Amino acid sequence: MYEEAPSRSVPGAVVWRARGPGGPVLPDGCMDLLWIEGRLLVAGPDTGPHPAGEVPGRSFAGLRLAPGTAPALLGVPARALRDRRVELADLWPGPEVRRLTGRTARYADPCAGLEALARTRLDAAGPPDPLPTEVTARLRAGQPVAAIAAALGIGERRLHRRSLDAFGYGPRTLGRVLRLQRALALTRRGLAQAEVAYAAGYADQAHLAREVRALAGTTLGAWAAAQAPSGAPADPGPAGANSETWQPSGSRTTA
């Protein structure tokens, strides 16, 4: 079982809950603050698929933070957490983490505890850096990296360095990850693969297939079949994915 909803107190974030082992975790450009059976963890930005059950547990709650927002909360550059799942105690002083763990445990809904923790940290960090939001929006719009750097008034090398700290990887990789997520969303809507390739901004269907294999470790057809309810046809229909199946679209699933 997996469910999610927009956060009511952390802009751009999503709260989610899950039970069971779930499915593989695919890159989405986000980072997650996690509560797993009394433990606080962080899931860093992914560059490829992560297997189900990478962090043991039966019950999970998470706050999925929009691309580029987690470093201000954590006080750690995203590049240091790329493709990692770490205990919060490995990043912050032990006494502080024990205090925050106890505070989160007092919430009937651990997602509310995660939101309170994140809101407090983000407020203390001061005004957010506008660059990650701008870069993400321009990449989602399909703008090339050179054009984004020019629009921001910085060189491509500087944009790359700042992206490493904000997102965990350079803007070209983030663009590929965001495009993958567009392709998966279009597939859930029932579009044929040729239509998905065109609408998501790939050169052609072969380009789509290569990118899905590189970033998701599977084919789009196999991924779509895994989303279908038990007994349903393998091709994705307009109804979308099974609400009882965790959606493997980033660190939102387990850890």
Q: What is the pTM of this model?
A: 0.87
Q: 87 falls in which pLDDT band (50, 70, 90)?
A: very high
Cα 210 from Cα 220, distance rounded (Å): 10
Mean pLDDT on 224-239? 54
Do you know the residue count of the chain? 255
Q: Do 74 and 30 reside in the same domain of the chain?
A: yes
Over the stretch 163-178, which tens digit does the pLDDT of each residue have? 999 999 999 999 999 9
Task: Mark which of 139, 167, 195 sits at the end of a domain.
Answer: 167
Number of domains in the chain: 2
Please check the confidence at residue 228 and state whether its pLDDT lies above 80.
no
SS3 content of the chain, % helix, strand, coil (to 5): 45, 15, 40
pLDDT of residue 253: 36
Q: 71 falls in which pLDDT band (50, 70, 90)?
A: very high
Mean pLDDT on 217-236? 72
Q: Do 121 and 134 reside in the same domain of the chain?
A: no
Q: Output 253 or 152, whichever has higher pLDDT.
A: 152
Task: Mark which of 125, 151, 175 sits at the end of a domain.
Answer: 125
Domain span including residue 20: 2-125
Q: Do 89 and 142 reside in the same domain of the chain?
A: no
Q: 229 falls in which pLDDT band (50, 70, 90)?
A: low
